[in-house]
Structure 1
Amino acid sequence: MATTILVQGVAAPVVQEVVRHGLAESYSHIRAKISSSGKLDDNHELLCQDVKKLFALKDDNENEVQRHKQKVPTSSYSLWMNRVLEIVYEVEKLKSKYESKRLQRWRIQQRSRLSEGMVQKLNQIGKLIEEGQFPRGFLVDKRPERVLKVLDAPKIKGFPTLEGPVEDILRLLKNIRIKRIGVLGAVGVGKTTIMQNINNHEEVSKLFDIVILLEVSAEQREEKLQRAIAQRLQVNIEGVNDRAEVARRIHEDLLSKKYLLLLDDAMDSINLEKVGIPDNDNGSKVLFATKFRHVCKLNRASRLISVKLLSSDEAWKMFRDIVIDVINLPDIQPIARLVSNKCARLPLLIKAIAHSFKVKENAFSWRAGLKDLKIWPEIQNQGLREMYSFLRFCYDELKDEKKQKCFLYGSLYPADSKIFSDYLVECWAAEGFLGDLNDTRRYRDIRDCGYDILEHLTNVSLLEKGERMIYVRMNNCIRQLALHISSEDPECNFYVTSREDSSEFNNSVSLQQAKRISMIDHNKLCEISSEIQENPNKLLTLLLQKNYELAIITQTLFEYMSNLRVLDLYCTKIRNLPSSLSKLTCLRGLYLNDCVLLTELPSELGKLKLLEVLDIRGSRVTFIPLHIRSLINLRCLRITYMKSGDKVESQDVISKLHKLEELIIEVNSYKQWCNEAEDVMNQVSSLENLTTLRFCFPTPSTLRGFMEKSKSWRDHNQFTSFRFFVGFPNSKRPQILEYFDYKMTRFLKYCNGEHKDDLTISELLTQTEALELICHKDIKALSDFVSTTSLNSIRGCVIEGCNRISTIVDAIDTHHNMENGHNVDDNGTNRSILPSLEQLYIRNLLKLRCVFRGLMRTGTLSKLKILVLRNCPLLKRIFSNGAIRQFSELQKLKIQDCSEIEELIMKYEGVGTESYYMLPKLELLVLVNVPKLKIICQNDSLAWPSLEVLVIHDCPELKAFPFSKDNAANLRSIKGQQEWWNKLEWENDEVKERFQPIYTSSDEYFF
């Protein structure tokens, strides 16, 4: 009856609802709903209790996470935590609904649904509590972070000298073909700053899976380096003492990663394979910074980034930024500039010294500090002590006394000035640093020893390499170190003063005590001080060059200088030399070049029996003065032939110089020289010890006469260097040599040639490294020379004004070549042409139609790196019939004023899968005034993996690029006229958006 009442009373609406919807629910189902509704309060209570248990378990697990900072939760734990948070959120919603409706009269259906929801959550919570026990643990070792930021890395924005290398490195990091990069620079120049900024760079974090930055100290062996890498990778090597096993684990960890390994301050070769670093082909890179050039070679760096000194403006900005709080105080800024100048433009010194001056609050203390800086390295300053310690280490590591003396000698020259390599080696030789010169030892051997030392000093950054090693420099900071060391050595005793540092070097000895005096480029030095005469027979070197007002040398100046070895009066205004010159009986080197007012040499010159080097180029001394023939030990003679009123008689002087090894004759009066060249050539031919010659041969027959008569020339192993000018006035600076290092020693400039003379030239070419072929009258191709094997040694070539040439290299007609004896070996098969050629410059060839034609033999032009074409009005094709396949090493291609070229790379030359990297190393492409050019390349599949700079000027028909957003990934700069850029046609907007940011409008371009 009670049940019936309940149904009739409370449940009547439910029954009505069931009936209304036409659903015949069973009586048992209704009873289940009523039962569930009745348990709502109990379920709510159970739910609250279980949620508390779940929260307690979550808190316990979270505490465990916090307790193990070196570990991270597993992925399954993270998923569990997410489910806990989700279910807690859902439970809170149920509890909120329960609380809000608790006092209201609910329908059974609503209570039942809420109760069932709670039961469902109770079941889910139960499972979460069970799963949250994690019987196998839920913490694992952290993965190494992709990049560990250097928090205190110095900012480089606003310092182009530091920003430039960073940008260059970033570009190389994107080039998949480059694996190892060296960063080279002297101590304190900012290499560490650059490495730290690379490590922190956002682009780097996107390029690599992991970046490892380590400092490689002098004491750090490969084992320590290996363990540091393992620690960074979080490779477990605990208890492992076997280096091979550690290497295996590192290798396994890195094998599938794209890594960047940054090694700062490398001092020697590092066997990375032994450490465990894999040689991946996935774009992984090794970047190492070093002070020593040879370390780059030892570690097989394929690219070298040189870090230079800051500019003067940059150095001042860096210094000013640090002392900004006091720089504007009265009277301090002028002193601050002097202090900044003392920092040698080295960031390390600037920062150290600027911070020490930052606390000085008045001009008095700044002046006192400046005075202290003048006696570096004696003052106590942390930055300076660090600098001195390392530089002293480099000096001590020279160990060889000869190298140490040669280094100290470099401090005689003004800081950062150009010290020409040949000249410096000659001074070392004159001082005896390179050993004794005798009848069994050639001057060439002495030179080789000197160049070896010079290269070593540049490799260890005690001297800075200049352009192509023609000259070197000594940084002011290193120079101060050298002067400080020399002041402690009684064998040195330097007196050094110049326009720049007149009296600032307080460690120099007095003028009377000095063994070596340097007064280079002294301010207003008009006459040599008589005080030098009070130095009896001690003086070994007297450097007075570049004193542009020095005109008077007293007659008795050299009276007490019998031990003098080097006298340099280059570029002074002296008119004559005193009679006391005869007292210089030990003199080895005499430099009178560019003494433009000097017209004659005194007869006393003939008494200098030990003189080895005499340079009178650029003076007005009569060609080959008669007394020179008495200089029986002369090894190097450099003279100028110039026009005079009467015929210049050489009087058989040169032939008397039996020990002469180097002869340089610069010709200023070519027409007159043509009348005397034959006689001078005959004298030169009689010299048996000649190894170096610079000579102008008016005709090929004069050259043939020399080659037939000269014993020195016939002994090819003896003749190591020549600059021959055939049919052309002597040139002081051959064009092609400007593009090569100083080791390029065998040069020929051949002008107005004819086929009848080519046998002579062909024979000479077998020993020639650099060739300038000017206005040849007959040849139609460079390969027309009698024997193309004579071109095998050519590394650099200029071809200009040869108006019958239609192609440079023509290998298409093998039969023709064989019939004419060209390009054929003993078996009658084709040989490679110009296999050593690295640079080719073509100018003003009016009939040139194709540069390279034909399917050439393997090796032909395979080393060509630079190709420049200018003013070839009939040129239509550069590469023809597949010739482009030979140019895998080409890095720079420049074309200007070639009005007929329509297509750079022909379509049929880009077929086949092998053409994908047709020009794999091309970095620079310049196209200027090529008005008919329509297409660079039709083949869109051609990749340009190394292209960095594209310059387009006056090419109005070029309206499209062969570049997609992916096939020229390293292209960073496009320059051209705005009007041309606006008319370019793009494949799609995505490609345009890729190249728009790197475009720079430029209306002028100077080729």
Structure 2
Amino acid sequence: MGSIIVEGLAVSAAAKVVGHGFTESYSHIRGKVASSKDLDENYKLLRQDVRSLVAIKEDNEKKVWRHKQKEITSNYSVWINKVSETVAEVEKLILKYESKKLPRWRFQRRSRLSEEMAKKLRKVWELSEEGQFPTGFLVNKLAEPVLKVLDAPPIKGFPTLQGSLEKILVLLKNNNIKTIGVYGMVGVGKTTILQNLNNNEEVVKLFDMVIFLRVSREQSEDKLQEAIANRLMLDTEGFNDHDVVARMIHTELENKNKVILATKYFHICKLSNVDRMIKVNQLSLGEAWMMFKNIVVDVIDRPDIKPIARLVSTRCARLPLLIKVIASSFKVKYTASSWRAGLEDLKPWPKLEDQGLKEMYSFLKFCYDELKDEKQQKCFLYSSLYPADSTIYTDYLVECWASEGFLGSINDIRRYQKARDKGYAVLEHLTNVSLLEKEERMIYVKMNNCIRQLALHISSEDPDCNFYVKTNEESEESTNLVTWQHANRASMIDSEVCDLPEKQNCNMLLTLLLQKNSKLASIPQTFFESMSSLLVLDLYGTKIHKLPSSLSNLKSLKGLYLNDCMLLKELPPEIESLQNLEVLDIRGCKVKFISFHIRCLINLRCLRISYLKSSEDGQSQDMDTDCDVIARLQKLEELIIEVDSYDRWCNEVEEVIKQVASLENLRSLRLSFPNPFWLKYFMEKCKSWREHKLASFRFFVGCQNSKRPHILGCFEYKINRYMKYCNGKLKDNCIIGEVLAETDAFELICHKSISKLSDFVGAASLERIRGWLIESCNKMSTIVDANFIQQSNNVLLDNMMDIDDEVDESDTSMGSILPKLEQLYLRSLLNLKCIFEGPMHPRRLQKLTVQDCSGIQELITEPEGTETEFHVLSKLETLVLINVPKLRTVCLNNSLTWPSLEVLKVHGCPELRSLPFSKDNSTNLRFIRGEQEWWNQLTWPTNEDEKWLQSIFAASGIHTMHVKENAREIHATICEMIQETPEGTSSLKKIYKSSTRQNTEGKSLEEDTDLLSVAARVKRIKV
């Protein structure tokens, strides 16, 4: 009985379990069926909401692009990576749904897919919410610890100079010493020592920041203060009080500031109460001779020249500056007789008796006399009109020389181009003999203060070069009738001029330089009445709001510079009288795009203009299409149109292109094209393009930002042919490829479809490219694949006779991809897995920067099956890796050599645990910078390699800061976003409201309560 009871209980319990299980199974099945029914709706929601997420991401990325002076927060980097991963996962789900097309009776599979979509949908919603970033995701960059002086002359091997540097280093390490004075005569090498000190790796380790400043006589205390504040990246906007800014600088540098003062005067050090003083002596005779030999080089050891060279060297007073100048002058002498004649000409200059300067000026005068050509001498003297050590734009300087007639009389149809060629030849010679100094790829030059004083002294004795030069330290009374009336050329650059005289007799005046006088608001109506000989007038950066009627008297004027006169609204009718005008620059003014009066300036060779947003009264500034202004200017050789209102530009571009295309003498052009169609239209219409006469161009295709291109700042020489292409599509690649074949530097931004280079253009199109930036091309997985390499080989074979001199005979590879590429920048390529697939790399690549590429694991991929050493980056000098979080290795092949590598910078690469560099394979590596935490985690093959690399490593830290934007910044940012993405107003409303809540002042954004009213008020979109 008991067993039956137990069994009966068991059966009963089993029945209950079965019943419960059935209920659960039924509920489960019902859930699956319901989930299956939701699949189609989840698919639609997922497609829709992932598009919104991508739109938020693109809006944020545009903001990052516009604010390159800032950096993104770590939270934003994490969010971007999450978005990329989630979008990729969603695309797989969508593809799975679209390819399977599951029938409704397959409810289990549909249910699983639906649940996956629902889960991913919740993730998309979370990321969309996170993507609003109410506190912002852009922060101010920290200032660089050291800004390298790239042109610092080497002092290694010169004990006098190196010894002074070592003494300074010892004092810097002494905590009790705060100020050091370095003194010595002009030209003894003080600046050179401090430049080398600035670049010294020990200094980098001693200080968080090094500030290197040159202070000239013309530089006011306010300018110096401004330079220091800018270097410290202090926000001084709105603080006009000198003392307030001084306190801000003091607070920033308090308890961590050491000062080194260099001067030629001993008493300046004394008056400055420095803690220690170091005197820089002249070189020894042996050092002077070695320095002289190092500069002259070629003929110095010839038996007939060497004795004369010894005598010349001894007459350089053992001063590095004189040695540099004199040796550079003798370097171009190739016979003993020319050396003897030069030695004979080295006479003292008796008129300057200042102690320590007499010999200096006599030798500098010798270099001036050595120019021989009177026009070269005048070009040199003219350069002294600009403040000492200030950068002078070379194109502008050559234009002034040409206007003054220093470059000869050229009256044919290509006057401007030939004058510029002659001018650059003069510039090259002046820099070669060290009378001018090269700056930034020869785009700028400057004149040393000592040499400038010589030039001003010479000009004071030459009746044809009587200069009046006013600095901001001189009193206003110096600009009087007496000082002006006999001057040939007057310079009052950045001299705080407020007022100009009503009228004065200046019939001898040829050049008048008034630029950068921000307090100059008006010009008297009669001011130009007695300046009929004036050739050059520069009013750049002044606050004038109109030009006087006496402008019509300037019948001889050839160069007129009104750029950045932001209050100037119109050109007066009197400008039509300037029939000899050849250069007109009105960029950055509020002058109408093509003023009607310009049509009469038929001798213009160069026109630089802006296409503005709108006039102050809100009326559209449409060009005068009925008068064909541009087309009338048939002598134009250079045309720059800077576009500041992209939407309206799209409506005007056809008419502009027609007129530009009619200019048969055009040699240089800067122009924006809304899309490749208009570029093609231009190429078909423009005769100068078809006949390959366009020697220089900057084309911006599909880009709303035509500011100075990033890639051009990376070269040591000037790049003339540049194109930037944004938001491209596959169908337009052929058009772009045709221009690329003529292009030296290229920026490819936000291409929507390419996955590799061979999808974009053929190898032949890129034979000329020297610099290339690729950014935010999110489908790109590799730069160069095997298909492109095969193209490159075919191109090489087709052109072998043409490039025979460029092929390295020791290179066993078939050819070279991108044969002239020197600079490559890869940014925000989120799906990039590798850079070069295959056995070849750009043979001439000097700098490679990889930034924000989250998919790369190995930088240089060795092709499978490679048994011998493949062609690698033998010319690479600089390698920069920033925010490449999955990067594990530079290259697995440790047998590769890096013969040219000098600089390695790494930041945000936590998985990179080893480096393929050693003392044996990287003999020129001299500098490594990265986070200390990253460095500590590296593994080393040998202790010797670790010790050597440690000696050239310097830690750097980039700290993330959260900065609250104020109301004005938020307002400006939102307006910019509307301009670029008018379709995103609903998303921007959320940002606007969120930003308003974060307003640190607790006020509303002026009277605006909604984003559309903001947009309407600034007239950027129609509401």
* TM, length-normalised to structure 1: 0.60
2:754 maps to what in 1? 779
Secondary structure in structure 1 of the residue aligned to 2:699: strand
Shift of 1:660: 0.4
**1:928 maps to which of 897, 907, 911:** 907
Distance 1:593 1:957, change over 3 A: closer
Instruction: Say whether 1:528 aligns with 2:500.
Output: yes
2:258 maps to what in 1? none
Distance 1:562 1:945, change over 3 A: same
Shift of 1:843: 0.2
1:903 maps to what in 2? 889
Instruction: Say whether 1:635 aligns with 2:619.
Output: no
**1:807 maps to which of 782, 795, 802:** 782
User: In 1, distance between residues paired with 2:890 and 2:936?
Assistant: 11
2:727 maps to what in 1? 752
Instruction: Say whether 1:874 aligns with 2:908.
Output: no
C-alpha contact (below 8 Å) 2:932/2:955 kept by paired residues: no
Shift of 1:221: 7.3
Instruction: Say whether 1:485 aligns with 2:455.
Output: no
1:708 maps to what in 2? 684
Secondary structure in structure 2 of the residue aligned to 1:388: helix
1:959 maps to what in 2? 937
C-alpha contact (below 8 Å) 2:514/2:539 kept by paired residues: yes
Shift of 1:871: 0.7
**1:848 maps to which of 827, 832, 836:** 832
The AA in structure 2 aligned to 1:894 is V
1:646 maps to what in 2? 620
Instruction: Say whether 1:157 aligns with 2:111.
Output: no
User: In 1, distance between residues paired with 2:939 and 2:478?
Assistant: 60
1:396 maps to what in 2? 369
2:958 maps to what in 1? 1004
C-alpha contact (below 8 Å) 1:153/1:193 kept by paired residues: no
The correspondence of residues 607-756 of structure 1 with structure 2, limited to 5 A, is: 607-644=577-614, 645-646=619-620, 648-651=622-625, 652-716=628-692, 718-741=693-716, 743-756=718-731
User: In 1, distance between residues paired with 2:751 and 2:327?
Assistant: 43
The correspondence of residues 112-123 of structure 1 with structure 2, limited to 5 A, is: none
Shift of 1:554: 1.5
The AA in structure 1 aligned to 2:462 is D
Distance 1:561 1:806, change over 3 A: same
Secondary structure in structure 2 of the residue aligned to 1:456: helix
The AA in structure 2 aligned to 1:496 is V
Distance 1:200 1:378, change over 3 A: closer
Shift of 1:383: 1.5
Distance 1:626 1:392, change over 3 A: same
User: In 1, distance between residues paired with 2:285 and 2:878?
Assistant: 27
C-alpha contact (below 8 Å) 1:823/1:833 kept by paired residues: no
Secondary structure in structure 1 of the residue aligned to 2:441: helix
Q: Encode CA deviations 1:709-760: one digit per residue, 9 max, x unaligned.
A: 10111121x2111000000024231101111245211100011112211111
Shift of 1:510: 2.7
Shift of 1:226: 5.8
User: In 2, distance between residues paired with 1:152 and 1:880?
Assistant: 43
Distance 1:292 1:963, change over 3 A: farther
Secondary structure in structure 1 of the residue aligned to 2:504: helix
Secondary structure in structure 2 of the residue aligned to 1:905: coil
Shift of 1:466: 2.1
2:520 maps to what in 1? 550
Shift of 1:434: 0.8
2:231 maps to what in 1? none
User: In 2, distance between residues paired with 1:417 and 1:150?
Assistant: 29
User: In 1, distance between residues paired with 2:652 and 2:399?
Assistant: 30
Secondary structure in structure 2 of the residue aligned to 1:157: helix
User: In 1, distance between residues paired with 2:884 and 2:315?
Assistant: 49
C-alpha contact (below 8 Å) 1:749/1:772 kept by paired residues: yes
Tell me the number of residue pairs that the alignment of Structure 1 and Structure 2 aligns: 670
2:817 maps to what in 1? 833
1:500 maps to what in 2? 473
Secondary structure in structure 1 of the residue aligned to 2:464: coil
The AA in structure 2 aligned to 1:222 is R
User: In 2, distance between residues paired with 1:675 and 1:711?
Assistant: 23
Shift of 1:669: 0.8
Shift of 1:786: 3.3
C-alpha contact (below 8 Å) 2:160/2:282 kept by paired residues: no
User: In 2, distance between residues paired with 1:294 and 1:454?
Assistant: 14
Shift of 1:628: 0.5
Secondary structure in structure 2 of the residue aligned to 1:548: coil
Instruction: Say whether 1:919 aligns with 2:929.
Output: no
User: In 1, distance between residues paired with 2:315 and 2:900?
Assistant: 29
Query: Which ranges of structure 1 fall in alignment gaps of 5 or more residues?
Result: 1-146, 172-187, 202-210, 231-262, 268-287, 300-375, 968-985
Secondary structure in structure 2 of the residue aligned to 1:510: helix
Shift of 1:472: 1.6
User: In 2, distance between residues paired with 1:932 and 1:216?
Assistant: 46
C-alpha contact (below 8 Å) 1:571/1:593 kept by paired residues: yes
Larger radius of gyration: 1
Instruction: Say whether 1:222 aligns with 2:194.
Output: no
* TM, length-normalised to structure 2: 0.59
Secondary structure in structure 2 of the residue aligned to 1:694: strand
The AA in structure 2 aligned to 1:843 is R
Query: Which ranges of structure 2 fall in alignment gaps of 5 or more residues?
Result: 1-156, 169-181, 183-189, 202-261, 265-278, 334-348, 801-812, 864-868, 962-1023
Secondary structure in structure 1 of the residue aligned to 2:357: helix
Secondary structure in structure 2 of the residue aligned to 1:728: coil
C-alpha contact (below 8 Å) 1:640/1:667 kept by paired residues: yes
Shift of 1:926: 1.5
Instruction: Say whether 1:587 aligns with 2:568.
Output: no
| Percent identity for Structure 1 against Structure 2 | 49
Shift of 1:596: 0.8
C-alpha contact (below 8 Å) 2:929/2:956 kept by paired residues: no
The correspondence of residues 23-172 of structure 1 with structure 2, limited to 5 A, is: 157-158=167-168, 161-163=191-193
User: In 1, distance between residues paired with 2:676 and 2:448?
Assistant: 47
User: In 1, distance between residues paired with 2:795 and 2:960?
Assistant: 39
Shift of 1:862: 0.6
Secondary structure in structure 1 of the residue aligned to 2:560: strand
Q: Encode CA deviations 1:387-424: one digit per residue, 9 max, x unaligned.
A: 11011001100000110111111122222222211111
Distance 1:943 1:298, change over 3 A: farther
C-alpha contact (below 8 Å) 1:846/1:873 kept by paired residues: yes
Q: Encode CA deviations 1:148-177: one digit per residue, 9 max, x unaligned.
A: 987998676326854466689999xxxxxx
**1:578 maps to which of 542, 548, 564:** 548
Instruction: Say whether 1:432 aligns with 2:405.
Output: yes
C-alpha contact (below 8 Å) 2:730/2:753 kept by paired residues: yes
Distance 1:839 1:266, change over 3 A: farther
User: In 1, distance between residues paired with 2:522 and 2:197?
Assistant: 53
C-alpha contact (below 8 Å) 2:757/2:783 kept by paired residues: yes
Shift of 1:674: 1.2
Q: Which has the higher contact order (CA 8 A, sep 6+)?
A: 2
Q: Encode CA deviations 1:419-457: one digit per residue, 9 max, x unaligned.
A: 211111111111111112313443101001011111211
C-alpha contact (below 8 Å) 1:693/1:721 kept by paired residues: yes
1:291 maps to what in 2? 325
**2:921 maps to which of 937, 943, 947:** 943
Shift of 1:506: 13
**2:421 maps to which of 448, 454, 458:** 448
The AA in structure 2 aligned to 1:157 is K
